[in-house]
Amino acid sequence: MRWIIFLVLALTWTRASLAMRVSLFILSGENRYTENENREQVNQSFRNFSGDTIGNFKIHKFSGALTFEKYQFGLETFDWQTSSDAPLIGFYENRRELHTTHLFKMGEHNEWLNFFSGFGIGAYEIDLTNQFNGATSKTKSGQIMTASGIASIQAIYKYFHATADLKLLFAKDYRPQPVPVLGFKIGFSF
Amino acid sequence: MSGLRTFSAIFLAFNLVGCGKSFKNDADLASGNVKVQIIAPGSIVENATSSLPYSFADVELLSIFDLVSISGQYARFHIKASRNENNVIGPKPRGQFLRNKEGVFIPKNFLTLQATTLYFHSQNMMLLERSLKLDSKRTAPLKIVLETPVLNTKQNENNAFYDGDLDAIIFLKYSEGNLPLSLNGGVFAHEYFHSIFERIVLKTLKTNELFKIPTPINKITMTKTLADVTKINLSSKASELRTRMVSGPITLSQENVKWYYALLLKGFNEGLADYWGWNYVNDVSFISHSLPQTRTSRKLDLSSQKLDSLQLLSEAEMLSIIYQVTDSTSEKLELINAFSYLLGSRIALFFKSYSETIQHERSLSTEETHKLVNQTILDFIHSLATTLPQVTLAADHTQLTSPYTLMYQFFSATELKTANECQFMKNFFETDSQKKNSLSCIADQNKIFKLTPTGAQ
């Protein structure tokens, strides 16, 4: 919740002074193509609009952006949980992710369709709780850095802002390295 | 076009930079001796987090080559495996860990937990084996198969077995709601012993016609068959056979002689493996943590085995098993396989009691006792490897080599340190109807006792 408040305050404060446009994305989602422990390709799908639970993922995702003439600053937060189990054993993973994106305008197809490219920097932390036969083992990862290369197509028309993003996401416990990510965001801007 | 070029340049440059070392996984960088969290019995780890038989424990895995695939000097793992002649083919797992502040790698999923736990047991078993005198050393690392469907229409889950052809331990899917077999240290030690027995004994019998019936080491017994054999009463058939034996030798078909030796061989293999499992985790019912239905039949105490005293199966009881009427060879194989645990549990119980007797009599530590008895077991299976190839096709029951005979041949040549140790052996071997009241304990001038036939001295 504190990230939402921070995001709203930051966007509101900067709107008047610096940015040409402030965007808040109501609907967003992304698919991460990762490899699991069985070496199978797994599509981790995150959506913030179809309830709290997608498969075994429980997610909360918020994002917004400040767009300047040639530059766009974005902020995304994820808070998601996943779990797996076996007889007597449970694995529960809580992840909190914060990503900033720095995109540069590369061109435009017409007045409202723009091409951006850039990079992202962020951090995430994991709380892992392993349970066995009533006993619990808790482990915290601490802050882990993440980075991404991003290509984005964005439609900005009046109060409407939509993006389609391709990211290559780096973090030390992501497999493969980098993880390809396809994402989209739909929101309003002013 | 220039915009597209700039776009490509930034995107490419960033991704090249991003491939740098800073994004290397902690597990990618871990090799050598690595601390991990596993599930282990409190009896084999110093820092168990609870007094429960099994709990979380931080242990050190030795000589790890690659923690991501959990491979090292002592074990390597295959998932989704298949067989190519005598080789296991299958990818290695992709272990996922979170490293805590103390530098301990915590598994993030079940496959990773299984592999780290099994590596630890594998390392312990190999170090134990290397500390003992054994003619044939095993090849390392040990191959372990996980997460692999096995095509068996009768039972394809809730079991683990050693495959002698592949020289691999295979864990099938576990679906009972108890301790998974792959986390059960006693079960692993049991399967590991089969690899020793295979190398020392079974390989010497590979070309022997008498042992041609495939001893079903890697054949999975149906749970129902195991349950059914506990209901079969052998005593009436055995007493009928005893009566016939008194009146004269019972003529045996060649096929029944082979069934007899399949039962005997599998019985020793399973029994000694059960002892090895008990010895490792110091738990008389280690199997029941995973398979509770075995609690009564394979628990290493007299009352659970419904016995008044330590004993093996008599020739009459062995033959009464062979004479169980079945319609098909495969069904008979199932029966022999299931009954082999009856003989095996008695053998395991004998060695456990022997271990407790010498510990008491010689005032040894548990560690010293285990080492001594483990060596005794290896010496015993070496003696089996010498004796069994010499067994000839019996025409009647008097020419059969009984379990008692094989054990007596070995223990009558063993030096016993005290009168009580010798009395223990005497009591045991005199449960054989052929040796009743016929043995004596004789001490030499160094007060070393030997078990000898009465009057032979």
Mean pLDDT, residues A158-180 taken together: 92
Q: Which residues of chain A neighbour B92 with C-beta distances below 8 Å?
A: 39
Sole residue written with tokens 């995973």:
B290
Q: How far is CA A114 from CA A25, A78, A109, in A?
A: 17, 26, 6
Q: Do A91 and B109 touch (CB under 8 A)?
A: yes
Cα nearest neighbour of A174 on chain B: B25
Q: Do A117 and B10 touch (CB under 8 A)?
A: yes
Q: Confirm if B42 and B56 have CB atoms less than 8 A apart.
A: no
Q: Which residues of chain A neighbour B180 with C-beta distances below 8 Å?
A: 86-89
- Range of lowest pLDDT (A89-98, A135-144, B243-252): B243-252
Q: Confirm if A78 and A97 have CB atoms less than 8 A apart.
A: yes
Which 131-150 residues of chain A touch chain B by CB within 8 A? 132-133, 135, 137, 139-142, 145, 147-150
A16 pLDDT above the threshold of 50: no
Chains A, B: CB contacts within 8 A come to 136
Q: Which residues of chain B neighbour A107 with C-beta distances below 8 Å?
A: 3-4, 7
B49 pLDDT above the threshold of 60: no
Domain A2-189: assigned CATH number: 2.40.160.20
> What pLDDT does B273 receive?
96
Q: Confirm if B148 and B170 have CB atoms less than 8 A apart.
A: yes
- Range of lowest pLDDT (A69-78, B17-26, B266-275, B426-435): B17-26
Give pLDDT tens digits for B389-418: 988 888 888 888 999 999 999 998 888 999
Amino acid at A184: F
Task: Give per-residue burial for B409-426: e unless 16+ CB within 10 Å, then b.
Answer: ebbeeeebebeebbebbb
The mean pLDDT value of chain A amounts to: 85
In this structure, what DSSP letter does residue B290 have?
T
| A62/B264: higher pLDDT | B264
> What pLDDT does A50 receive?
55
Q: Does A106 touch chain B (CB under 8 A)?
A: yes
Cα nearest neighbour of A35 on chain B: B94
A9 pLDDT above the threshold of 60: no
Q: Does A130 touch chain B (CB under 8 A)?
A: yes
Percent of chain A whose pLDDT exceeds 70: 84
Chain B nearest CA to A108, separation (Å) = 9
- Range of lowest pLDDT (A23-37, B137-151, B220-234, B286-300): B220-234
Mean pLDDT, residues B422-446 taken together: 89
Backbone angles phi, psi at B452, to 5 degrees: -135, 155
| B300/B409: higher pLDDT | B409
Mean pLDDT, residues B224-235 taken together: 67
Q: Which residues of chain B neighbour A135 with C-beta distances below 8 Å?
A: 49-50, 52, 55-56
Q: How far is Cα B66 from Cα B414, in angstroms, rounded to an integer?
A: 45
Q: Confirm if A63 and A185 have CB atoms less than 8 A apart.
A: yes
Range B384-390, long-range pairs (CB < 8 A, 24+ positions): B384/B200, B384/B201, B384/B268, B385/B200, B385/B201, B385/B204, B388/B201, B388/B204, B388/B205, B388/B208, B388/B211, B388/B265, B389/B204, B389/B205, B389/B208
Q: Confirm if A159 and A178 have CB atoms less than 8 A apart.
A: no
Q: Confirm if B317 and B244 have CB atoms less than 8 A apart.
A: no
Chain A nearest CA to B122, separation (Å) = 21
- Range of lowest pLDDT (A58-67, B2-11, B29-38, B297-306): B2-11
Backbone angles phi, psi at B77, to 5 degrees: -120, 145
Q: Does A129 touch chain B (CB under 8 A)?
A: no
**Out of B18, B37, B110, closest to residue A178 by CB:** B18
Q: How far is Cα B299 from Cα B292, in angstroms, rounded to an integer?
A: 10
- Range of lowest pLDDT (A24-28, A63-67, B8-12, B414-418): B8-12
Task: Please report which helix (H) or strand (E) contains residue A26, including its range.
Answer: strand A21-35
Which 35-54 residues of chain A touch chain B by CB within 8 A? 35-39
Range A132-136, long-range pairs (CB < 8 A, 24+ positions): A132/A88, A132/A89, A132/A90, A132/B39, A132/B54, A132/B55, A132/B56, A133/A88, A133/A89, A133/B52, A133/B54, A133/B55, A133/B179, A135/B49, A135/B50, A135/B52, A135/B55, A135/B56
> What pLDDT does B176 receive?
84
Q: Which residues of chain A neighbour B52 with C-beta distances below 8 Å?
A: 133, 135
Q: Do B100 and A139 touch (CB under 8 A)?
A: yes
Chain A nearest CA to B18, separation (Å) = 6
A168 pLDDT above the threshold of 60: yes
Q: How far is Cα B371 from Cα B368, in angstroms, rounded to an integer?
A: 5
- Range of lowest pLDDT (B105-114, B204-213, B234-243): B234-243
Domain boundaries along the sequence of chain B: 32-179, 199-399, 412-457
**Out of A37, A107, A130, closest to residue B3 by CB:** A107
Backbone angles phi, psi at B281, to 5 degrees: -105, -5
Q: Do B94 and A36 touch (CB under 8 A)?
A: yes
Q: Which residues of chain B neighbour A126 with C-beta distances below 8 Å?
A: 98
Q: Does A168 touch chain B (CB under 8 A)?
A: yes
Q: How far is Cα B14 from Cα A119, in angstroms, rounded to an integer?
A: 7
Among B341, B281, B298, B258, smallest CA distance to B55 is for B281
Question: At B59, is the pLDDT very low, low, confident or very high (cuts 50, 70, 90)?
Answer: very high
Residue to substitute from A42, A108, A127, A139, interface B, most B β-carbons within 10 A: A139
Q: Does A91 touch chain B (CB under 8 A)?
A: yes
Question: At B234, is the pLDDT very low, low, confident or very high (cuts 50, 70, 90)?
Answer: confident
| B153/B332: higher pLDDT | B332
Question: At B219, is the pLDDT very low, low, confident or very high (cuts 50, 70, 90)?
Answer: very low
| B160/A1: higher pLDDT | B160
B43 pLDDT above the threshold of 70: yes
Q: How far is Cα B23 from Cα B32, in angstroms, rounded to an integer?
A: 21
Question: At B9, is the pLDDT very low, low, confident or very high (cuts 50, 70, 90)?
Answer: low
| B57/B305: higher pLDDT | B57
Q: Does B89 touch chain A (CB under 8 A)?
A: no
- DSSP-derived secondary structure for B148-178: -----SS--BS-EEEETTTTEEEE-B--SSS
Q: Which residues of chain A neighbour B18 with C-beta distances below 8 Å?
A: 147-149, 168, 170, 178
Q: Does A171 touch chain B (CB under 8 A)?
A: yes
B101 pLDDT above the threshold of 60: yes
Q: Would you state the structure tokens that stand for residue B113, as one six-digit string?
A: 């937990």
B220 pLDDT above the threshold of 50: no
Residue to substitute from A117, A150, A175, interface B, most B β-carbons within 10 A: A117
> What pLDDT does A48 receive?
73
Question: At B297, is the pLDDT very low, low, confident or very high (cuts 50, 70, 90)?
Answer: low
Among A68, A61, A62, smallest CA distance to A15 is for A68
**Out of B52, B96, B106, closest to residue A37 by CB:** B96
Mean pLDDT, residues A123-138 taken together: 94
| A55/B54: higher pLDDT | B54
Q: Do A87 and B10 touch (CB under 8 A)?
A: no
Q: Confirm if B70 and B138 have CB atoms less than 8 A apart.
A: no
A136 pLDDT above the threshold of 60: yes
Q: Do A168 and B52 touch (CB under 8 A)?
A: no
